[in-house]
């Protein structure tokens, strides 16, 4: 499918595919996927289903994170031989917290033509419904899986004057929210869950409310989380007493374990915190579960 401007070398197409609803694919994406010489897919079995649905039988090759360097070399060779290659991932736009970056860089280094075929992305879908105006937005992708690194990153948002966007997987969302409330207090947060799917949910809420909602769910689904900046209204700075009471009312941890977690999160003395927690507990007779 070469045009006169790229007679010798092929073109690398970065093709966005649906993030849930199969109707969310552009006419141009369908045409490019049909006309390309190869489709390089993160998971060929997953993409085969989409291609079958669209009646497309273009050659599939695999392009997954663990083999990204080698596969990128192979794709660049195809491009240099004059073949067109379309890159797709399991959902959304390639190279946005997904494989794709390596081949894009290599293709650019060799002066090959790269063309974006824009379409769905969980990032833009969530932002489009968040109602954010004026402030800057920082996209973090996935927060670090390691708790210490995640907490360090979240602490950098304490005085940030921008919205911070995170992708989060179903099994890490609770940990992320717990670390966020410990680092930032009870910030406002926008949650976009299962976008374009049957159980799509959009909610402007607070971290403490979202922790309660999330912990009561069996199936958590895919999330985009948009943390408001410190000065967004309404927001409530939580002091240590608030955090102790929050753990008492919403966490399944014992008094001792809550104090251990909080002391580590806040970098304060565990014994002082424990003393204060006992005091609060006896001031506020029998209303909680610590």
Tell me: does residue 20 bind ligand SAM (CB under 6 A).
yes
User: How many Cα atoms occupy the beta-carbon half-sphere of 163 within 13 Å?
Assistant: 22
* Strand residues in 111-200 grouped as ranges (E): 113-117, 136-142, 162-168, 188-193
Task: Determine the Cα–Cα distance for residues 168 and 97; give it in Å rounded to an integer.
Answer: 11
> Burial level of 246, CB count in 10 A (0-12/13-18/19+)?
buried
User: How many Cα atoms occupy the beta-carbon half-sphere of 183 within 13 Å?
Assistant: 22
Residue choice 98, 179, 186, 265 for contact with ligand SAM (CB under 6 A) = 98
- Between 49 and 78, how does the x/- string for binding to ligand SAM read (CB under 6 A)? ------------------------------
Tell me: does residue 154 bind ligand SAM (CB under 6 A).
no
Residue choice 112, 181, 192, 262 for contact with ligand SAM (CB under 6 A) = 192
Tell me: does residue 15 bind ligand SAM (CB under 6 A).
no
Tell me: does residue 89 bind ligand SAM (CB under 6 A).
yes
Question: Which residues are paired to 253 by β-bridges?
Answer: none
Residue choice 50, 72, 123, 262 for contact with ligand SAM (CB under 6 A) = 123
Tell me: does residue 222 bind ligand SAM (CB under 6 A).
yes
Tell me: does residue 21 bind ligand SAM (CB under 6 A).
no
> Burial level of 28, CB count in 10 A (0-12/13-18/19+)?
middle
Q: Which stretch binds ligand SAM (CB under 6 A): 53-61, 175-183, 219-227, 272-280?
A: 219-227
Tell me: does residue 203 bind ligand SAM (CB under 6 A).
no
Residue whose beta carbon is closest to ligand SAM: 92
Long-range contacts of 50-55 (CB under 8 A, 24+ apart): 50/17, 50/18, 50/22, 50/25, 50/88, 53/22, 54/25, 54/30
Q: Judged by CB, which is closer to ligand SAM: 89, or 258?
A: 89
Tell me: does residue 93 bind ligand SAM (CB under 6 A).
yes
- In angstroms, the Cα distances linking 132 to 59, 115, 142, 226, 285 are 42, 29, 21, 10, 42
> Burial level of 157, CB count in 10 A (0-12/13-18/19+)?
buried
Q: Judged by CB, which is closer to ligand SAM: 141, or 159?
A: 141
Q: Provide the 3-class DSSP secondary structure of residue 40.
A: strand
Instruction: Output the smallest distance, CB 170 to ligand SAM, in A.
Output: 8
Instruction: State the number of binding residues for ligand SAM (CB under 6 A).
Output: 24
Residue choice 40, 56, 87, 96 for contact with ligand SAM (CB under 6 A) = 96
Q: Judged by CB, which is closer to ligand SAM: 195, or 211?
A: 195
Q: Provide the 3-class DSSP secondary structure of residue 156.
A: coil
Tell me: does residue 186 bind ligand SAM (CB under 6 A).
no
Residues that bind ligand SAM (CB under 6 A): 19-20, 89, 91-93, 96-98, 121-123, 167-169, 192-197, 222-224
């Amino acid at each position: 499918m070469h045009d006169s401007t790229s007679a010798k070398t092929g073109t690398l197409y970065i093709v966005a595919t649906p993030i849930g609803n199969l109707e969310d694919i552009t006419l141009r994406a369908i045409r490019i996927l049909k006309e390309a010489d190869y489709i390089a897919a993160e998971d060929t079995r997953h993409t085969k289903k989409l291609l079958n649905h669209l009646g497309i039988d273009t050659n599939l090759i695999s392009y997954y994170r663990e083999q990204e360097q080698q596969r990128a070399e192979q794709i660049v060779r195809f491009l240099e031989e004059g073949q067109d290659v379309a890159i797709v991932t399991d959902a959304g736009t390639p190279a946005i917290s997904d494989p794709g970056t390596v081949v894009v860089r290599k293709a650019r280094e060799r002066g090959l033509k790269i063309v974006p075929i824009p379409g769905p992305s969980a990032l833009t879908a969530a932002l489009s419904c968040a109602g954010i105006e004026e402030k800057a937005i920082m996209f973090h992708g996935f927060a670090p899986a390691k708790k210490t690194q995640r907490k360090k990153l979240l602490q950098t948002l304490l005085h940030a004057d921008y919205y911070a966007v995170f992708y989060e997987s179903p099994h890490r969302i609770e940990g992320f929210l717990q670390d966020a409330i410990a680092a930032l207090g009870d910030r406002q947060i926008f949650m976009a869950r299962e976008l374009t799917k049957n159980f799509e949910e959009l909610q402007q809420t607070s971290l403490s409310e979202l922790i309660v909602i999330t912990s009561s769910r069996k199936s958590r689904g895919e999330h985009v989380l948009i943390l408001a900046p410190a000065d967004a209204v309404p927001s409530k700075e939580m002091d240590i007493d608030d955090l102790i009471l929050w753990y008492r009312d919403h966490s399944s941890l014992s008094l001792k374990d809550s104090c251990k977690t909080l002391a580590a999160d806040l970098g304060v003395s565990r014994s002082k915190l424990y003393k204060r927690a006992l005091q609060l507990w006896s001031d506020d007779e029998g209303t909680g579960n610590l």
